[in-house]
Chain A
Amino acid sequence: DIQMTQSPSSLSASVGDRVTITCRSSQTISNYLNWYQQKLGKAPGLLIYAASSLQSGVPSRFSGGGSGTNFSLTISSLQPEDFATYYCHQSYSTPWTFGRGTRLEI
């Protein structure tokens, strides 16, 4: 199985900050990397697919980058509604696997 390692596991930030979360895969996955946002008690929602493509309806302050084994999710200017947990997910080979999440808190 491909292991996905996210860092940091938690992050404290303020409204207006620029934050970056990283995700590393245990083997190369090209750009088959997706990012999800999960708020407490809700299902995850797709933010970024194919490493850098913004899902329809997602604000442009979210961006993704990387390829191969190293990926990043950046929020350019944090808004109050962005405080949540973020997960990366590889769709290069089954079994699909997820990172353990990054909790973004005030």
Chain B
Amino acid sequence: QLQLQESGPGLVMPSETLSLTCVVSGGSMSSGGYSWNWIRQSPGKGLEWIGYIYHSASIHYNPSLKSRVTISIDRSKNQFSLKLNSVSAADTAVYYCARERDTSGYSFDHWGQGILVTVSS
């Protein structure tokens, strides 16, 4: 049973960098046909896709966040990470990592439980 688990600080100061990690267990990230995504959810914006990484040479970001986002992968540790810099209160949200499969279209078939990140001084 594939599981994803987010971890990182729940409180980030304004203008600082938000850093989260998603550990994948019960399956290998090296299996083909999947990308690894970050999605966030806030009352104001609903569900917002942040970006995905397929492998180190294939990374795609939401243009609305592209200037502030970095997603990276460490296949040796079976995990991937999110960095969002220059955060503000608008970045307060529950952050999810999710696996996307590319069979019969693209869909998020496994999600982490989510982690609430609050941006506040």
Please report A residues at the B interface, Cβ cutoff 8 Å.
31-32, 34, 36, 42-46, 49-50, 53, 55, 87, 89, 91, 94-101
Contact = CB atoms under 8 A, between A and B. Distances in A.
Interface stretch (B11-19, B57-65, B75-83): B57-65
B98 to A, nearest CB: 8
Contacts, number: 59
Contacts of B47: 44, 87, 89, 98, 101
Contacts of B106: 32, 91, 96
Main secondary structure of the interface of A (DSSP, over half): loop
Contact of A95 (B63, B109, B111): B63
Contacts of B104: 49-50, 53
Contact of B46 (A94, A96, A101): A101
Interface string B73-101: 00000000000000000000000101010
B107 A46 contact: yes
Contacts of A87: 46-47
B100 to A, nearest CB: 8
Given A32-B105, A96-B106, A100-B46, A43 B62 contact: no
B107 A34 contact: yes
B15 to A, nearest CB: 25
Contact of B109 (A55, A96, A101): A55
B111 A49 contact: no
B105 A34 contact: yes
